[in-house]
Structure 1
Amino acid sequence: MNIREAVTGFPAVAELEGLEDAWRWSPAPGIDFAGTLSADGNRLIQTSSRDSYEQDLAVAILRFAQEREEEIFARNPNLGSVAGFTAPNGAPFDAVAGVAPAVHRFYAVELPELTPLVRVVFPAYVCEFSGGETLAESITRYQMLQAVRWKRGPVPFLKMRFANTRTLGRSTNEGRGLAEPVILERELSQMADAPGSFVEFENRHGQVWRVEWHGTWYIAEWDTQDGAPWETTLDALLAFASARLNE
């Protein structure tokens, strides 16, 4: 398939200034795509944004991804990322991430022969990825991050499981499952006065901690399951958890 012909055939497509072999098009109001050929010309590296497109940022993302495409996907072919990105105009992103066709499924209906040739890239944060996500986790993670929003803060990688004897809330997944940090904060806060309750949480480095309620909060390193628990307060616990997720 000729990628250049396919892309330049999209409605209202225009050349993207600032990058060779690159284009911008908008399939619907507020939705903006930009893309460029990979260094070898065999793939389309594409961005997607909703109500937040910035041309300087699009060019920076695509250039970074084009130069470091192999590195982005070296560790995880479904969902990868590389640090060292400096976004223009003071945007806080510090990484570029990319997803494979099995994750993004772009053009699967209208132009399915193009789908396997497309890698979607987006501005991101180093703390958002472990590098070990399965295909199913990669799909979930891509959806959680709302990658089309180019004016967003970080959503640190988190896996957790929990059970609360007072609220009767509990995780339903086997083992620790992907979650947003706000869920961790909520469950840690609701452990008060709930004997037998616990929360386990894991950061992107695979480090795990377990929190239990025994008249107050106790936390222990859990990835080796031999860490000695220590007593803590809720404020200190929330600060500790946030720091570990953002490492």
Structure 2
Amino acid sequence: MDVRAVVTAFSGAAPLPGLPDAWHWSPAPGIDFAGALSADGKRLLQLSGRDSYDEDLAVATLRFARKHEDEMVARNSFLGALEGFEPPTGRRFDAVVAVAPQVHRFYRAEKPELTEHVRLTYPAYACEFSGEESVDEAVTRYRMLGLTDLDRAPVPFLRMRFANTRTRGRSTNKGRGLTDPQRLLGELRAIEGGAGSFVEFENRHGTVWRVEWHGAWYLADWTTQNGAPREIGIEELIQFAVARLHE
């Protein structure tokens, strides 16, 4: 496929200032796309912004993705993130993520023949990815992150399981499942008063902690499932959990 010819034929496509072989187009008010040819010219590296497009950020992201595409894919072929990204002044992103066609399925309706030639590339945060995501987990994370909001805050990688003897709430997955950090903080508070209740959480490095309620909160490093628990206050526990997820 001649990717250049396809992209330049998009309605309103115009060269993206500051980056060769790159274009910007907007199919609707508030929705902006930017794309660049990969280094070998065989793929389109693309991002989009919904009510948040920033040309300088788009150029920096696509430039980084073009230079480091092989490294990103080597990290994880489905959802490959690479640290070391330096965004424009005022932005906090520290990584760029590459999303594979089998995960994003972009253009599947209007131009399905293009889908396999597109790798979505977005500014991101290193704490959001483990590098070990399966294709199913990559799809889940892609949907969770809200990547088209280019003003977004980090959504750290988190796997969790829990059981609350007071509310009878519990996770339904066999192991720890992907979830939002706000769910973790809510469940940590909710086990108060539930004898034998627990919450396990895992960060992107695969380190696991287990919190139990036995008249107070007790925290243990559970990576080897034999950590010695220590009593901890809820506010210290919340701060601890947030810090571990952002590592």
Return the letter of the residue paired with 2:17: E
Which position in structure 2 is the counterpart of 1:48? 48
Residue 198 of structure 2 is matched in structure 1 by 198
Counterparts in 2 of 1:1-247, with a 5 A limit? Answer: 1-247=1-247
Q: What one-letter code is carried by the residue in structure 1 that aligns with 2:53?
A: Y
Shift of 1:90: 1.5
Any conservation in 1 of the 2:108–2:115 contact (CA below 8 Å)?
A: yes
Helix, strand or coil at the partner of 1:127: helix
Cα RMSD between the aligned structures?
0.7
Deviation at 1:165, TM superposition (A): 1.1
Give 1:129 shift: 0.4
CA distance in 2, matches of 1:28, 1:70: 32
Question: What is the distance in 2 between the residues matched to 1:200 and 1:79?
Answer: 24
Distance 1:70 1:62 in 2: 14
Q: How far did 1:174 drift?
A: 1.6
Q: By how many angstroms is 1:78 displaced?
A: 0.3
Percent pairwise identity: 62
Q: How far is the alpha carbon of 1:73 from its aligned partner?
A: 1.0
1:89 match: secondary structure: coil
- SS for the counterpart of 1:114 is helix
TM-score by length of 1: 0.98
User: 1:221 Cα deviation (Å)?
Assistant: 1.1
Q: State the Cα distance separating 1:173 from its structure 2 match.
A: 1.4
Matched residues in 2 for 1:98 and 1:17: separation? 22
Unaligned runs of at least 5 residues, structure 1: none
Q: Following TM superposition, where does structure 1 have runs of at least 4 consecutive aligned residues deviating by more than 3 angstroms?
A: none
Aligned residues: 247
Q: Deviations over 1:113-142 (max 9, x none)?
A: 110010001010110000000101101101
Give 1:145's aligned amino acid: L
The TM-score with structure 2 as length reference comes to 0.98
The amino acid across from 1:81 in the alignment is A
User: Which whole-Å CA distance do the structure 2 matches of 1:146 and 1:29 have between them?
Assistant: 19
Question: One-letter code of the match for 1:41?
Answer: G
User: For 1:43-71, what per-residue CA distance to the aligned partner results, in whole angstroms no more than 9, with x for missing partners?
Assistant: 11001110000111100000000000011
Question: Following TM superposition, by how much is the alpha carbon of 1:12 offset from its aligned partner in structure 2, in angstroms?
Answer: 1.1
Name the CA distance, whole Å, in 2 between partners of 1:106 and 1:131.
Answer: 22
State the SS of the aligned residue for 1:172: coil
> What are the superposed Cα offsets for residues 121-173 of structure 1, whole Å, 9 maximum, x if unpaired?
10101100000001011011011110000001111110000011111111111
Of residues 42-51 and 164-173 in structure 1, the stretch that sits farther from structure 2 once superposed is 164-173
- Alignment partner of 1:53: what SS? coil
Q: How far 1:89 moved relative to its partner?
A: 2.8
